[in-house]
Structure 1
């Protein structure tokens, strides 16, 4: 302002300056406003021009890189060099696909390791895509340090293919970096779609091969070798079949989706690219190679995959059956049959294990192969047949009581707690069971006959993992 033109400073001007907390600067009378405004505008417009030039430069460089077949690591490097910060690219399951930290110091690299470990533990967030890109904070549990970063989903065909994250480890992130992140994510989506498209074609051939192998349509070593060679599969290692399934056919329809297979392939590709997965009538089937991993590591992999699927389908009960490892690839269909039996027995009989291993089924492994001949039917009738008739006629729970008796090793107090009845009620029921079946529960032979009959009865009810 030039106060020389006024008798006094207008009160409204002073009030506005106070409200907006702006200074009033006295300008000499002979200085033109343009001499002050032009340099300021040039500075403001110059910064915007720099942002625009950087935006266009990143876009052009990324386009050239993608057209030249550049990898996701090269793309991450370009973004990192332009934004002067650490850049990571993740798939939809938070697995790191690429990371570039430039010439960061060792302290940055240590923090980056902690960051990647923490990100891998995060659950997927379902936020409104209109809220992105956005600034977020990640807290490192090791030292409670908060790290600011930009997150932008990589979206293609209307689904989230991954995430681009720019970490504030070197330079402060700005609002202008948000626009660059959004543009970079679009270019990354092109690369991810191209990669997933090639993967999809290969996975289809592998799934068809899996179905033919497990159904016994590949019966000669020559046919197996030819098919495995064309798909770049190594069957020199033993393999085991696992089946992930739900309890009912209604839930199975929701579970056996493209999304399930996508999650599985995304996870298994980080372990071993030769792992084959496919949706079949019995459930999601995964063929695992046993290299130097051992059983313990396989259990760890299965637990991790189960957690991923349970997180995605929180409303469904998912069961996993694991067949025995087969050295001979032509015998893998036996492992498939064992995995089906394991998941079926778990759902219908146990319902206490998330993952059931066929070689840990105990007596059920032998009983499941017992033919349903006349002698077996007579044995069932003689052992628990009368109990079944009694329960049906008088609406009692003697079979349930007998199951509790064996599962609790005859502990009456524990049985009463499990069945929600009085201790004396349990004792009376057991006495009634002995009278009806004409057995003595204190006699080992009688107990064995009843338990065997009960197990055979349970197996008889099993029709398959999709029975309702």
Structure 2
């Protein structure tokens, strides 16, 4: 059998985009979809006997499902496509109905103007077929200019653009141009907020969310996106002269209250990262908001009321300190001695010490929280000092002990 030529394409071979993708499908022996840069379907190959759920949904709605786009961003697939001119293999993700794929970006100069997606069915594409696909992307550039029609960006397009901003793949100039294109006022400063929901956000819940965002009287929502159980938004106060932290906290309180009272959606507790002026800091604000959620989950008693990254205090640095501890291979001997004593004698001295420090060394509050008498607490603190051989009245020693106690839970 003669191998197919690696570049069997000529511009004058096709009278439409449909004839082009059918030819690519015939050469690669698999279903082909041609998309614009916002993941809207332009054309797809005909006579495909086999496919997967994502492709069926994409063809029906004429756009890749939002949850699939968000997942591909999170897994680094789309960032790869925005950097590479070579085809990229994508492992299937059964949980979202996505089979194995190969995708290649279509470039015009330094700009991605579309994508070709190939569904790998029974067997992966060979090296020769990967080269054919790469060459198909080159000819597709000319065909897109010739046949495609420009369409106005939709809400989904804006959400996909927001993911680019969140992951740091859009520069300041492009973001400002997008804001101008959407007719938005200049954003003086902003923060990124995350609202984790107890279950996956379905269409009905999404409708309620979008309504509340639209009618908000506390902040202006410039961009938003939904990813499985999370709502992520870029917000700025309606009045730039107001205290932004107060505005953001008020919005979070009102949003959670309205979700519960109007739509019976409970257990949603938002968080926001730092407040910035430059859009290059969007990924940083996102990471900080996630840190708030992570700290609240690991230290619920001490941090359940925290919503803002600055409220975390020393909790901001626990991941950095833990990494240093791991690199150094060191342990806090004083805490280790106390832990071993507890294990041998079935005592709770380590827990007592942590509560004592959490309660700012208040005897009354610590005893009440532990449900013990003050005299019992005094005896425990004396034994703790003897076993640890550390004077926790010295600020530097006390601070290190406190940090290492928290690192044990990180």
The TM-score normalised by the length of structure 1 is 0.48
- Over 3 Å counting, the alpha-carbon distance change for 1:379 and 1:203 in structure 2 is same
In the TM superposition, 1:292-307 aligns within 5 A as 292=240, 293-295=242-244, 296-307=246-257
Quick one: distance in 1 between partners of 2:315 and 2:344?
29
Q: Corresponding residue for 2:55?
A: none
Q: Corresponding residue for 1:256?
A: 201
Structure 1's unaligned 5+ residue stretches are: 1-200, 462-468
Q: Corresponding residue for 2:112?
A: none
Q: Corresponding residue for 1:277?
A: 224
Query: Could you list the per-position Cα deviations for residues 200-253 of structure 1 after superposition, in whole angstroms to 9, with x for gaps in the alignment?
Result: x943223222222111222x234324443444444532110111225xxxx3xx
1:417 aligns with 2:364: no
Quick one: distance in 2 between partners of 1:405 and 1:372?
26
In the TM superposition, 1:232-381 aligns within 5 A as 232-245=183-196, 251=198, 254=199, 256-271=201-216, 274-280=221-227, 283-290=230-237, 291-292=239-240, 293-295=242-244, 296-311=246-261, 317-351=267-301, 352-370=303-321, 372-374=323-325, 380-381=331-332
Which of 158, 161, 166 aligns to 1:214? It is 166
- Over 3 Å counting, the alpha-carbon distance change for 1:298 and 1:441 in structure 2 is closer
Following superposition, the deviation at residue 365 of structure 1 comes to 2.5
Following superposition, the deviation at residue 340 of structure 1 comes to 0.7
1:451 aligns with 2:402: yes
Following superposition, the deviation at residue 355 of structure 1 comes to 4.5
- Over 3 Å counting, the alpha-carbon distance change for 1:406 and 1:425 in structure 2 is same
Quick one: distance in 2 between partners of 1:389 and 1:452?
19
Q: How many equivalent residue pairs?
A: 252
Following superposition, the deviation at residue 408 of structure 1 comes to 1.8
Q: Is the 8 A contact 1:380 1:457 kept in 2?
A: no
Q: Is the 8 A contact 2:334 2:390 kept in 1?
A: no
Q: Is the 8 A contact 1:260 1:309 kept in 2?
A: no
Following superposition, the deviation at residue 448 of structure 1 comes to 2.3
Q: Is the 8 A contact 1:214 1:332 kept in 2?
A: yes
Larger Rg: 1 or 2?
A: 1
Output the aligned Cα RMSD.
3.0
Q: Corresponding residue for 2:388?
A: 437
- Over 3 Å counting, the alpha-carbon distance change for 1:297 and 1:222 in structure 2 is closer
Structure 2's unaligned 5+ residue stretches are: 1-152
The TM-score normalised by the length of structure 2 is 0.54
Q: Is the 8 A contact 1:279 1:285 kept in 2?
A: yes
Instruction: Tell me the SS of whatever aligns to 2:169.
Output: coil
